[in-house]
Amino acid sequence: MKHSPLIGLLVLLFAVAHAAPAYAYLDPGTGSMILQTVVAGVLGATFAIKMYWQRIMTWFRSRNNKPSETE
């Protein structure tokens, strides 16, 4: 099982290399929807970090303030 990520990567590369053309049409609304999704993800992550900022900083401070084993 050591080589399973390598085999997965090779399968993925083979599938991409031998893909047939899709001849699909993407209208301008699709680009707008993708842009809205990216902006919403960034804003959502920013909001989540803002909401939990105090907890995150407290966690980092508590890790740094622990006395070392040699003291």
pLDDT by position in tens, the chain (length 71) = 566 788 888 998 998 888 888 888 888 898 899 999 999 999 999 999 999 988 888 888 887 776 656 55
Residue type, 47: F
Per-residue model confidence (pLDDT) at position 68: 59
Per-residue model confidence (pLDDT) at position 4: 79
Those residues with Cβ within 8 angstroms of residue 56's Cβ, 6 or more apart along the chain or in another chain: 49
pTM above 0.85? no
Tell how many helices (H) and how many strands (E) occur in the chain: 2, 0
CA atoms within 13 A on the CB side of 13: 6
